[in-house]
Amino acid sequence: MSDEMIDLSRLAPSDRTRLVAAEPNSDGTASLYVRAADGSVTIETAPFRPWLLVSGEALAAAVPGSVERRKLDGSGILNVLVHFPDEATHEAGLKYLRTETGCSPSSPQAPYRAVSDVTQQFLSLLPARLFRDMSFAELRRMQVDIETVTTPGYDFCNAERDDDRIILIAMRDSTGWERCLGGPDVPEAAMLQEFVARVRERDPDVIEGHNIFNFDLPYIGTRCKRHKVRLKLGRDGSVITSRSSRFTAGEHTSTYQRYDIYGRHIIDTMHLVQLYDVSHRDLDSYGLKSVAKYFGVAAKKRTYIDPSKIGELIKTQPDLVRDYAMDDVRETDAVSRLLSPSYFYQAQLVPFSYQNCVTRGNAARIDAMLVAAYLRAGASIPSPQASRNFRGGLTDSLQSGIFQNVWHVDVQSLYPSIIIAGQMSPRVDTLGIFCTLLTELRRFRLLAKQSARNAVAEQRENFEALQSSFKVLINSFYGYTGFSQGTFNDYDMAETITARGREILQSMVDFLKRENATVIEIDTDGIYFVPPPGVADPAALLQKIQATLPAGIDVDLDSTYATMFGYKSKNYALLDHDGKVRITGAALKSRGLEPFQRRFIREAVELLLTGHKTELTGLNEKYADAIRNHALPITDFAQRETLSQSPRVYQQKLESGEGKRSAAYDLALKATAREYRQGDQVAFYVTGEKKSVKVSDAAKLLADAKPDVRDENVPYYLNKLESLYKKFAEFA
């Protein structure tokens, strides 16, 4: 099976190859950056006319300026495509429509629609997609990591403070080039100037970093302003820009400072890790060191340093700190090589920049593909259906406890299979593109999987990444039908899909129960169960299950496990046959718990899974003794909170009766030796002698803890431990 058989133009036409960046300009042109096979980059110029969609020819005719109007076919409400000669005229047209209609462009009910992402506008109509005819290995990627020193007495560095500064900038790229800038005797301004020069010299397509949006780039930007160093990282010599944005991974949405570089993409590997954990849910931390160990990419001789000691070590052992920083960028590269390819190949299909393929959701990517397909066909666009609630998939915990020899069976792509089997499309998809696109994606995924089996070395990796990209998009089509901002959303269709899914899962559960299997956990498209007595052949049982299901619905035995601990719905732990423990669910691994609680849970679960449940009491006593005797480090009791607003704003809200008291903010306000700002991290623990205390009254800054005076609230933490122990004791 050759890669020519996977012709992506059937999904999204593109008349350009090896395009690594597309940058629309304000003058009616776009700059296209093309990386040749020999690694060189050339710049091409193409015309770009910004556009928007309008409902009705009368409103379209009233749009001022030298514009071109094109009537679109079909019954969609947005039926006129209006082109503008340049950005200024486009902005004037938008201003007129806002005033005339009283609606913002983001309103689903507005009689016009503007795509704010100009790169999406350009790629949708050219037609063009990034990275066609390129492999991930050909993408020029640069990793960046900074090391900073913090003013004594503070918990976390802050670029606004005079004495906080960048001490090192570690850099590497995918060609193997490496460099560590700075040092104890290098002026910060000179180091920042060299950083800009090195980026421009190496000319990467992508700049990567772990937490680069919320830490490295804001810190670099602030220090550059202080030293009047222009952060001119753009391929056209322009300065990097930023704005506040939001990033969503599963049910968690967070704010971050988005940065954009003309002609380049920025990928935050922490975002990649968070997206990975949405489906796997077994990461204990999103920190780089923890993630590298989890994925097995941490070097055996990796240098580890306590970050709080960097200020001292850079003076006494600068080479050690350099080694530490370089290991950071090497691990960032390794994590990116594992998690980035899926988004790289999605950029070959979706009319987004590579950066936006990561930061924007699956539903937004599907919406962009559908809208682009309609515009290519000259068809009008509908408006989204008003949002409403509907019942979701079947999830339930039927049994709790400890179970041996657990099997997991799941339906392969349950919701996509239901859609394809029923040839379902949203009510407003008059061209039937939704189901056609999904069917083609699934067909291409099967081709890519087959090609991966037959390929060798790097080709196999490419095909694996390609099929993984298809899988991500395929499994998002159902979610799109219930996406409130989806142009072609359809809540009735979404409800029909989940109802059918519940019926299929329930029929599988009923069959397993009739066979005397012990069903433990049901989770949307899969079932954990103990096989019926005497049944040892998974294939034979799988065949029986398959026989009960309708055509087009296929099941697979995903895995078998030595032991499973079922705690409650969506909270369980699994012991692989190779001894690896996987923990799922917020109740078992919440990052909001103090370190000693997270460690106790992990150890308790391992005891339950490995047949040592009688040792649980001893584990509890060990931790209790350690708390009583102050044997645990004070950091084990610390909670950490990042200030999302300034302490002054928090105080104003309290005084106006709008806010609630917070220990972290109260401590920040009370601090006299240090000034806390928005973005600072506050670490604190609870003091006192009673187990029932108000945390905001009893909290103390971790930075104020004295090594020779242990004042943590022993009864309070013993009570927390006892509550934890009781949760697990019933299973022992």
For residue range 412-463, list pLDDT tens digits in order. Answer: 889 999 999 999 999 999 999 999 999 999 988 888 888 888 887 767 888 8
Most confident stretch, 393-407, 425-439, 665-679 = 425-439
> Residue 583: which CATH number?
3.90.1600.10
pLDDT at 534 over 90: yes
**Domain membership flag for residue 247:** yes
**Domain membership flag for residue 374:** no
Percent of the chain with pLDDT over 70: 98
Q: Over the stretch 554-575, which tens digit does the pLDDT of each residue have? A: 999 878 999 999 999 889 999 9
**Helix pair angle (491-514, 538-547), 10° resolution:** 130
Closest C-alpha among 182, 235, 189 to residue 23: 235
> Residue 160: which CATH number?
3.30.420.10
**For the chain, what is the mean pLDDT?**
92
User: Which residue, 530, 557, 588, sits at the end of a domain?
Assistant: 588
Model confidence band, residue 673 (pLDDT cutoffs 50, 70, 90): low
pLDDT at 468 (0 to 100): 83
**Distant-in-sequence, close-in-space partners of 426: CB < 8 Å, separation ≥ 6:** 434, 481, 488, 489, 490, 493
Ranges 109-118, 484-493, 631-640, 642-651: which has the least confidence: 642-651
Q: Over the stretch 590-611, which tens digit does the pLDDT of each residue have? A: 777 899 999 999 999 999 999 9
pLDDT at 13 (0 to 100): 85
pLDDT at 707 (0 to 100): 86
**Domain membership flag for residue 17:** no
Q: Over the stretch 71-119, which tens digit does the pLDDT of each residue have? A: 999 999 999 999 999 999 999 999 999 999 999 988 888 999 999 999 9
> Residue 613: which CATH number?
1.10.132.60
Handedness of CA 684, 687, 691, 697 (dihedral sign): negative
pTM: 0.86
Query: Does residue 558 contact residue 536 with C-beta atoms inside 8 Å?
Result: no
pLDDT at 679 (0 to 100): 65
Do 610 and 529 lie in a common domain?
no
pLDDT at 6 (0 to 100): 67
Do 307 and 176 lie in a common domain?
yes
pLDDT at 2 (0 to 100): 42
pLDDT at 291 over 60: yes
Do 584 and 597 lie in a common domain?
no
DSSP notation for 230-269: ----STTSPPPEEEEEEEEETTEEEEEEEEEBTTBEEEEH
- Higher-confidence position of 148 and 252: 148
**Domain membership flag for residue 220:** yes
**Domain membership flag for residue 376:** no
Do 243 and 176 lie in a common domain?
yes
User: Which residue, 303, 321, 345, sits at the end of a domain?
Assistant: 345
Do 559 and 673 lie in a common domain?
no
- What integer is the mean pLDDT of 494-500? 95
pLDDT at 282 (0 to 100): 72
pLDDT at 29 over 70: yes
Residue recorded with tokens 């109740």: 587
> How many beta carbons lie within 10 A of that of residue 594, not counting itself?
19
pLDDT at 220 over 70: yes
pLDDT at 3 over 60: no
Model confidence band, residue 154 (pLDDT cutoffs 50, 70, 90): confident
Q: Which tokens hold the place of 528?
A: 């954990």
User: Which residue, 345, 376, 405, sits at the end of a domain?
Assistant: 345
- What integer is the mean pLDDT of 654-660? 88
Do 243 and 299 lie in a common domain?
yes
pLDDT at 185 (0 to 100): 93
- What integer is the mean pLDDT of 491-515? 95
pLDDT at 523 (0 to 100): 84
**Domain membership flag for residue 501:** yes
**DSSP H helical ranges for 281-347:** 288-295, 310-316, 318-339, 341-346
Do 477 and 617 lie in a common domain?
no
- What integer is the mean pLDDT of 44-59? 96
Do 564 and 599 lie in a common domain?
no
Do 428 and 507 lie in a common domain?
yes
Model confidence band, residue 254 (pLDDT cutoffs 50, 70, 90): confident
**Domain membership flag for residue 474:** yes
Q: Over the stretch 698-717, which tens digit does the pLDDT of each residue have? A: 999 998 899 889 999 999 99
Query: What 8-state DSSP symbol labels residue 579?
Result: S
Closest C-alpha among 537, 518, 536, 538 to residue 528: 518
Domain count, the chain: 3
Do 574 and 426 lie in a common domain?
yes
**Distant-in-sequence, close-in-space partners of 97: CB < 8 Å, separation ≥ 6:** 52, 54, 59, 63, 103, 105, 110, 112
Cα–Cα distance, 543 to 547 (Å, whole number): 6
Do 409 and 340 lie in a common domain?
no
Do 564 and 598 lie in a common domain?
no
pLDDT at 234 over 60: yes
pLDDT at 4 over 50: no
DSSP notation for 452-467: HHH--HHHHHHHHHHH
pLDDT at 1 over 50: no
Percent of the chain with pLDDT over 90: 75
Q: Which tokens hold the place of 267?
A: 């990928």
- What integer is the mean pLDDT of 43-68? 96
Helix (H, G, I), strand (E, B) or coil at 726: helix
- What integer is the mean pLDDT of 196-204? 98
Q: In terms of residue numbers, what domain contains 535?
A: 395-588
pLDDT at 138 over 90: yes
**Domain membership flag for residue 70:** no
pLDDT at 153 over 90: no
